[in-house]
Structure 1
Amino acid sequence: MDNKIDQLEPRELWTNFAALNAVPRASKKEEQVMAFMMDFAAQNGLDAQQDETGNIIVRKPATTGMENAKTIVLQSHLDMVHQKNNDTDFDFGTQGIKMLIEGDWVKAQGTTLGADNGIGVAAIMGILASSEIKHPAIEALFTIDEETGMTGAMGLKGGVLKGDILLNLDTEQDNEIDIGCAGGVDVTATKTYTEEPVADGAVAYTLTVKGLQGGHSGMDIHKGLGNANKIMNRILNSGQQNAGLRLAALQGGSLRNAVPRESVAQVVLSGTDEASILERMQRTADEIKFEYRTMEPGLEIRFEKAETTPAQVMPAAEQKAFVQAIYAAHNGVYRMSAELEDLVETSNNIARVSVEKGKISIKCLTRSSVESSKFDLANALRAAFELMGCDVELSGSYPGWTPNPNSEILKLLKAVYQKQNNAQAEVVACHAGLECGILGKNYPQMDMISFGPTILGAHSPAERVSISSVQKFWKFLLEVLGNIPAKV
């Protein structure tokens, strides 16, 4: 870690972010960070509890003069997306994030940074540890597993929190105040098949798609980013004419909430047609690179002769159905909102495709701010995959967060933003999944809002957070806390 990180201003936030990022906290592997947060509460003499799901709630009394103000729930999630470049040697289960400063940005060395949502966690820690910051009574809610299932928010029971207002610190543009978000559902297609021997005279190749930007499968889905799984599928389709290319294995993408950046396939080509197959694939690769020349200038598509030939491949009929199903499955924006300008309503990310030893697995994340539209797209995907003989499961569904433009806390945040920046904040709904919609099911009377500093490239190794934006966010948060109205 660059030792200058914990010397940045505001020191109260950055010191805690550096300490937090020294603790492994990949989604579904949060045991170490749970213990870290309980130790933090104990060291600061704060009341803390861990619920049966793993969420941690820390309480702090109001400062003098704010005892009658409404109780605030400050909420962020402890886990982070674990993505790294293929050439980066890093273990998210045992290592802390290696950070560095580049100009106005803090980023990581070849991995995700964890600013999503570590900056929010660190801000809350800074407030809890301070004896000088003015604030009402606080319930700090640190949820787990937000990134891969929202299971922390789903598991939080009603009645645990007593707060009147929830400030979710998990959005990524410092000029935006978020009042709504999309829900999601996981679509998983699986199938087994019987492999067959490779024909005599076949030549083995490794096909690689790499160099894509990747990104957040909700917030970045409208940008036209390249999806490594869809690109690889086009290459396979161009090569399989007359069964000239046969697929032995394929690994593409990683997490459902990350746009896939890389895909690698092991294939064999008919020895007599090797040159013509390579020519077709190269022509397709050139077309794809031309299409993405502006958005994905780093895209690489490689065909490299392999030293060893696989013993078995997918049968030709199974392979054709597989490729056609991936072709038919929708990826990207499905529908724009008719109510909110420039808001993606419904989308899908074909996140992970695996073919290995007679087993096919396809994992998608379908998002929408409209429940019926979410399941319409999920059922369209189900149809495409069932037509190739897959078993399809829809799981992990969570609701969106319906915007409330008449929110009382929204009025306060808009006024504070205007005062501090001499400009109006943008009031928006986002296409990411925030925990507010889920938490609202058990706490329907709680007034909720979401905001945060500018974070770019979330869910990818390009993730970075603006230092000046964090300063803006911190100043904004403190003034909001100091102006929470009294209870009626």
Structure 2
Amino acid sequence: MNEEIRNLEPKQLWNKFADLNAVPRPSKKEERVIAFMKEFGKKLNLETIEDEVGNVIIRKPATKGMEDRKPIVMQSHLDMVHQKNNDTNFDFDTQGIDMYVDGDWVRAKGTTLGADNGLGVATIMAILESDTIAHPELEALFTIDEETGMTGAKGLKGGLLQGEILLNLDTEEDDEIGVGCAGGVDITATKTYSEKETPSNSQAMTITVKGLQGGHSGMDIIKGLGNANKFMNRVLYATRDYIHLASVSGGGLRNAIPRESVATVVVDSNKMDAFTSQVENIAAKIKEEYKNLEPELHISTKEISNTPEKVMECDDFKDFVQAIYTAHNGVYRMSPEIEDLVETSNNIAKIVAENGTIEVLCLTRSSVESSKEDLANALESSFEMAGFNVKFSGEYPGWAPNMESSIVKLLDSLYQEMFNDRADVAACHAGLECGILGQNYPEMEMISFGPTIRGAHSPDERASISSAQKYWSFVMEILKRIPKK
């Protein structure tokens, strides 16, 4: 139960996280959490404003003795990725997250946890509420819609913030200090297709791909995890001579690696044995390839009684599966300058084909603008050759590292002092808001850090309790050490 979460240490942090997770906060539906945050600030008698796009800013004066320090901005985003297991009955629009403790981890029951970026939000709330935590003049910036468009960061106007240093609390390894990130662009490919009457003397079947780990399409793309849309396409391609496609639906949000896909197909009765054999054959190959990465992968077929009236025309089906086969998914290029950093990647996040329409959603990321453009053009070419209409949207810039920044040097040395180890000071492949915020606040020093979170953007999301304690002590010391004006 969530009460056991409230008893974890540090209680200030976990209590605020429990408060926050009681409020539904899906991306693009943040009205309730915006109201919650505004009420929170006003109850503390702190200056609280909502800007034109829905970001909430709460200002708190410096504590006694800290008035001579540089003013800071502490920033996290209010929205969370909503993903659940197919067998979990849960309504993200009306229910709060149901959490529990599992050893050193806090988890949610069958859904995403919201630690991304809820632990950052909870950290700032605890500092705003406290009358014992020392800190400089503070602006708390709670942005909206980070997960599906960076709308809040894009809409924040210049001149609204007075802070000189921004602490972004949206990194997911407690030994990492983020100094740069990838930019991104949403790619949407759509196409109408012709349908024909379902052939007589045929059997309707479902093909299901499930059991994949999923995860964050930026941070986890380097792991080479399975993509349910790509796996389903391999099955459809392998059985193309035996089936007619009625529909397929796989994946969800652009920033989540797809875990599941379901297709409805019609099989000629005299080809059923060949179809079954071919599915078993390709499933065995995929499972062997991914036996270490995806041990829970399950590919199955099932007869269904409700035969669809229409199926996709053969030529359109061929174009569809070839387009998905051709479209790049996963790491496109590793950085030649920063070891083990993905420079450019693409996630084929969602595919829906039904009732004469196909829609494919991708998210392309890169820390190099020209490389992002190159991969986006390659994807556009793949889809357009198959007759798709391709649109780019939601583009946002990367965040270029500044290793000479005073806040970078402070956190690097402070981490070593406190934990007797060196932090991993590096750029990441996720999309952080710092790059966008920096466009209107170019003189503001920025840095990103946070507690250890695993499986973000998937129902396996979990937050480390011991890491949260380590992170909290780090935050407290950072606030004390902010440089003088």
TM-score (ref. length: structure 2) = 0.99
Displacement of 1:200 after TM fit?
A: 1.1
Kindly provide the CA deviation profile for residues 10-64 of structure 1, in whole angstroms up to 9, marking residues without a partner as x.
Answer: 1111110000000000111111000000010011111110001000000000001
Aligned partners of 2:145 and 2:324: how far apart in 1?
A: 29
Aligned partners of 1:258 and 1:193: how far apart in 2?
A: 27
More divergent stretch after superposition (431-440 vs 7-16): 7-16
Cross-structure match for 2:433? 435
Aligned partners of 2:279 and 2:237: how far apart in 1?
A: 9
Displacement of 1:2 after TM fit?
A: 2.9
Aligned partners of 1:194 and 1:259: how far apart in 2?
A: 30
Displacement of 1:133 after TM fit?
A: 0.4
Kindly provide the CA deviation profile for residues 51-109 of structure 1, in whole angstroms up to 9, marking residues without a partner as x.
Answer: 01000000000001111110000000000000000000000000000000011100100
| Matched letter for residue 104 of structure 1 | D
Q: Secondary structure at the match of 1:179?
A: strand
Kindly provide the CA deviation profile for residues 180-205 of structure 1, in whole angstroms up to 9, marking residues without a partner as x.
Answer: 00000000000112211011111110
Q: Which runs of 5+ in 1 are unaligned?
A: none
The alignment-based identity, stated in percent, is 63
| Matched letter for residue 133 of structure 1 | I
Q: Contact (CA 8 Å) 2:415, 2:422: kept in 1 or not? A: yes
Q: Secondary structure at the match of 1:4?
A: helix
Cross-structure match for 1:287? 285
Kindly provide the CA deviation profile for residues 238-277 of structure 1, in whole angstroms up to 9, marking residues without a partner as x.
Answer: 1112xx2110011000000000000000000111111112
Cross-structure match for 1:359? 357
| Matched letter for residue 248 of structure 1 | A
Kindly provide the CA deviation profile for residues 413-432 of structure 1, in whole angstroms up to 9, marking residues without a partner as x.
Answer: 11211111011111011000
Cross-structure match for 2:160? 160
Cross-structure match for 1:418? 416
| Matched letter for residue 345 of structure 2 | S
| Matched letter for residue 433 of structure 2 | E
Q: Contact (CA 8 Å) 2:384, 2:390: kept in 1 or not? A: yes
Aligned partners of 1:89 and 1:126: how far apart in 2?
A: 32
Aligned partners of 1:396 and 1:277: how far apart in 2?
A: 41
Displacement of 1:308 after TM fit?
A: 1.5
Cross-structure match for 1:221? 221
Runs (4+) off by over 6 Å: none
Aligned partners of 2:184 and 2:413: how far apart in 1?
A: 32
Question: Is residue 336 of structure 1 aligned with residue 340 of structure 2?
Answer: no
Kindly report which structure 2 residues correspond to 1:134-145, keeping only aligned pairs within 5 A, or say none: 134-145=134-145
Kindly provide the CA deviation profile for residues 389-430 of structure 1, in whole angstroms up to 9, marking residues without a partner as x.
Answer: 110001110000001111100111112111110111110110
Cross-structure match for 1:204? 204
Q: Which runs of 5+ in 2 are unaligned?
A: none
Cross-structure match for 1:240? 240
Displacement of 1:7 after TM fit?
A: 1.2
Aligned partners of 2:425 and 2:483: how far apart in 1?
A: 21
| Matched letter for residue 323 of structure 2 | A
**Over the residues paired in the alignment, what is the CA RMSD in angstroms?**
0.6
Kindly report which structure 2 residues correspond to 1:295-444, keeping only aligned pairs within 5 A, or say none: 295-444=293-442
Aligned partners of 1:310 and 1:135: how far apart in 2?
A: 64
Aligned partners of 2:14 and 2:47: how far apart in 1?
A: 23
Displacement of 1:458 after TM fit?
A: 0.2
Cross-structure match for 1:485? 483
